[in-house]
A and B are shown apart, each in its own frame.
Chain A
Amino acid sequence: MVYGNREDGCKGPTGILSAVFCLLLLLSFLSACGKGEKNSAAEKASDTVKVDTTALLVRQISNCVRLYTTEYQYHKIVTYSDEPRIAGNLGSANFSIPTRLGERKIAIPIDVSVKAYIDFASFSQANIERSDSGIVIVLPDPQIVVTASKIDHAAVRQYIDPLRSRFSDQEMMSFARQGEDSIVSHMDKAAILASAQTGAARILLPMLHRMGYTEHKATISFRHDLTPESLQKNITVQRLQ
């Protein structure tokens, strides 16, 4: 009789737990169904938005007058760790658990060339001040541009779990792009611009000396009211918009 009671007792809570589990599953299912409807609505909305990509394909050939004075070569090993996690929420409680399966890692060495230049497109007589004491040339603000980037394909290393696929070319390029963006955002812009100004003076002063102006009579000058905000504007990154 005692054993019989225990068996009955075991059946009770198991049944209840099963019922609770089924209820949770049902809720999850209903929730997922709700999201699906939202997604499909969002997809419909996105289908209606047409993006004109014609402008991206137009090649630009432009005349310019730029004096490049400084070149910086940056190197970065871009790393990425793909550790999938199971995340979700139950009511207001959020959770995120590492799966411990299917880990992938990749290291991509990239080299980025950055150059600083003075734009002489608007250079005119207004930039030259002559006086009895000598000549002063006021140059426009230096600019910074990323001229090239190169992935060292031979040095790329991938560590892939047997359960996972290799990194695709698209993923690698996405990581390289992030690496380049990281270099651009962390580079010492003030140092590059100062180097560009020194470089411009180094190029132009000997020319002025040959024109007959002595060392004390020739001056290369820049705008003195450079602020951090205007420095930020001076960085230009060539990329497809």
Chain B
Amino acid sequence: MNELDNRPQASSFGKICKKVWDKLVYFLQFVVYTMIKGWQIWLIMVCLVVAAIFFRQCRDERNSGNKLASLRLEKSTTIDVTPEEIRAIRNIEQWEFLSIETEEMAELYKKNALSVSQLSAIYSGTLRLGVDMAKAPDHWFTAKGDTAVLNLPAVGLLDNHFIDEARTRTFYESGTWTAAERESLYQKARTQMLKRCLTKANLLTARRNSTAHFSQMFFNFGFKFVIIQYGVRFN
């Protein structure tokens, strides 16, 4: 009796299990069939995986303080590596007694039929005033007992190239400019610097400093008197 009573109970549970199992197998078959037949599902899944990886990366980037995505136009501002060449090595003998560091703003202006062009630049340079011993006679110094006699050339500008053009700052530029015009701008700045700095007063200051220095130097060598003549040129 017990066996007969238990039989329907076990049978109904088994039926339910079988039904569930059949449904599951059917669903799995449907999924597998759909995945094999429908490639779109595969694509969607791949996209989801890629998107998940991408968002994970983005989250990490965001946490590290970087941008998620960026796009920019990039260009280098540094010059190429090229060799430097020594064009000349010269022995010189120049005594500098006054240094004038200056800057000059020069500008060019030209008017065409349709446009107006303007170029304004600030040049900087250092004028060095002193004595160039290359212009002095061979025996510029003679010792006569306790007196030193010096025949020095006139105090003047030591170097005609005194502008550091690479340090020029372009203040304003419009229009196009030729090489000759740029060169004329440089010459204009140079002339203005010479006019302002190569004055009689500055030359006199340099000469005074020269006299003081040469006198002191020869006193240090043991001479009691120093006679200096300027303007004596090499013949």
CA A133 to CA B119, docked complex, whole Å: 65
Stretch of B2-10, B87-95, B227-235 with 4 or more beta carbons under 8 angstroms from chain A = B87-95
**Given A75-B87, A85-B75, A128-B221, are A92 and B94 neighbors across the interface (CB < 8 Å)?**
no
**Given A79-B82, A148-B164, are A86 and B87 neighbors across the interface (CB < 8 Å)?**
no
Q: Which of B98-120 contact A (CB under 8 A)?
A: 98-103, 119
What per-residue 1/0 map shows which CB atoms of B69-90 lie under 8 Å from chain A?
1111111111110111111111
- Whether B141 and A177, one on each chain, are in contact in the complex, defined by CB atoms closer than 8 angstroms, is no
- Whether A154 and B179, one on each chain, are in contact in the complex, defined by CB atoms closer than 8 angstroms, is yes
How many interface residues does chain B have, given as a range?
35 or more
Most buried by A among B67, B90, B97: B67
What per-residue 1/0 map shows which CB atoms of B24-61 lie under 8 Å from chain A?
00000000000000011001100100010010011011
Instruction: Indicate whether B142 reaches chain A with its CB closer than 8 angstroms.
Output: yes
Give the distance to chain B from A132, nearest Cβ to Cβ, in Å: 15
- Whether B70 and A199, one on each chain, are in contact in the complex, defined by CB atoms closer than 8 angstroms, is no
Pick from B67, B95, B179: contact of A34, CB under 8 Å: B67
Pick from B40, B88, B167: contact of A9, CB under 8 Å: B40
Q: Which of A59-75 contact B (CB under 8 A)?
A: 59-75
CA A81 to CA B100, docked complex, whole Å: 37
CA A168 to CA B156, docked complex, whole Å: 37
What per-residue 1/0 map shows which CB atoms of B141-166 lie under 8 Å from chain A?
11100000000000000110111111
Instruction: Indicate whether A178 reaches chain B with its CB closer than 8 angstroms.
Output: yes
- Whether A30 and B101, one on each chain, are in contact in the complex, defined by CB atoms closer than 8 angstroms, is no
Chain A positions within 8 Å of B163 at CB level: 148-150
- Whether A186 and B90, one on each chain, are in contact in the complex, defined by CB atoms closer than 8 angstroms, is no
Instruction: Indicate whether A190 reaches chain B with its CB closer than 8 angstroms.
Output: no
Looking across the interface, which residue of chain A has its beta carbon closest to that of B209? Answer: A63
What per-residue 1/0 map shows which CB atoms of B215-232 lie under 8 Å from chain A?
001001100000000000
Most buried by B among A9, A65, A88, A125: A65
Give the distance to chain B from A165, nearest Cβ to Cβ, in Å: 10
Chain B positions within 8 Å of A70 at CB level: 89-92
Instruction: Indicate whether B169 reaches chain A with its CB closer than 8 angstroms.
Output: yes
Pick from B67, B84, B97, B162: contact of A31, CB under 8 Å: B67
Give the distance to chain B from A62, nearest Cβ to Cβ, in Å: 5
A-B contact count (CB 8 A): 266
Chain A positions within 8 Å of B130 at CB level: 66
Q: How many residues of A contact B (CB 8 A)?
A: 99
Pick from B67, B83, B90, B142: contact of A73, CB under 8 Å: B90
Most buried by A among B92, B183, B220: B92
Give the distance to chain A from B138, nearest Cβ to Cβ, in Å: 9
CA A154 to CA B176, docked complex, whole Å: 15
Give the distance to chain A from B86, nearest Cβ to Cβ, in Å: 6
- Whether B142 and A210, one on each chain, are in contact in the complex, defined by CB atoms closer than 8 angstroms, is yes
What per-residue 1/0 map shows which CB atoms of A170-190 lie under 8 Å from chain B?
100111111110110011000
Q: Which of A76-119 contact B (CB under 8 A)?
A: 76-92, 96, 99, 110-113, 115, 117
Chain A positions within 8 Å of B159 at CB level: 113, 147-148
Chain A positions within 8 Å of B43 at CB level: 12-13, 16
Most buried by B among A61, A69, A86, A124: A61
**Given A80-B79, A169-B119, are A115 and B173 neighbors across the interface (CB < 8 Å)?**
no
Q: List 22 A-B contacts (CB under 8 A).
A: A20-B47, A27-B58, A28-B71, A31-B67, A32-B70, A59-B101, A64-B99, A68-B158, A71-B90, A73-B87, A73-B90, A75-B84, A80-B79, A88-B70, A147-B162, A169-B173, A176-B165, A178-B79, A180-B164, A212-B143, A238-B126, A238-B167
Binding site for B on A (CB under 8 A): 9, 12-13, 16, 20, 23-24, 27-28, 30-32, 34-35, 57, 59-92, 96, 99, 110-113, 115, 117, 120, 123-125, 127-128, 146-151, 153-154, 156, 166, 168-170, 173-180, 182-183, 186-187, 195, 199, 202-203, 207, 210-212, 238-240
- The 9 A-B residue pairs with the shortest CB-CB distance, nearest first, are A91-B57, A153-B179, A148-B161, A180-B166, A73-B88, A88-B71, A87-B74, A176-B166, A60-B101
Binding site for A on B (CB under 8 A): 39-40, 43-44, 47, 51, 54, 57-58, 60-61, 66-80, 82-103, 119, 121, 124-126, 128, 130, 133, 139, 141-143, 158-159, 161-170, 173, 176-177, 179-180, 182-183, 186, 202, 205, 209, 213, 217, 220-221
